[in-house]
Amino acid sequence: MSSRSSLWQTFKAVGWGFFGVRKNSEYQKDIARLSPLHIVAVGFVAVLLFIGVLIALVKLAVA
């Protein structure tokens, strides 16, 4: 599997994790093929983006 494909799979897994909707079988596949370090790194970036979007929305609403 290429690193680009693995990165995309990691983004998808983290995205589904944010929504909390994931089949157990798909979760087990993710655990088997994805690096925990990649999941943590992508999750950290996703949280920062989420916080940034929330801050921007609040500033827009208050302005």
User: At residue 14, does pLDDT exceed 90?
Assistant: no
Q: Is 20 left (phi over 0), alpha (psi -120 to 50) or beta?
A: left
Contact 33, 5 (CB under 8 A): no
pLDDT in tens, 27-61: 788 888 888 898 899 999 999 999 999 999 999 99
pTM for the model: 0.74
pLDDT score of 50: 94
Give the residue with greater pLDDT, 49 vs 21: 49
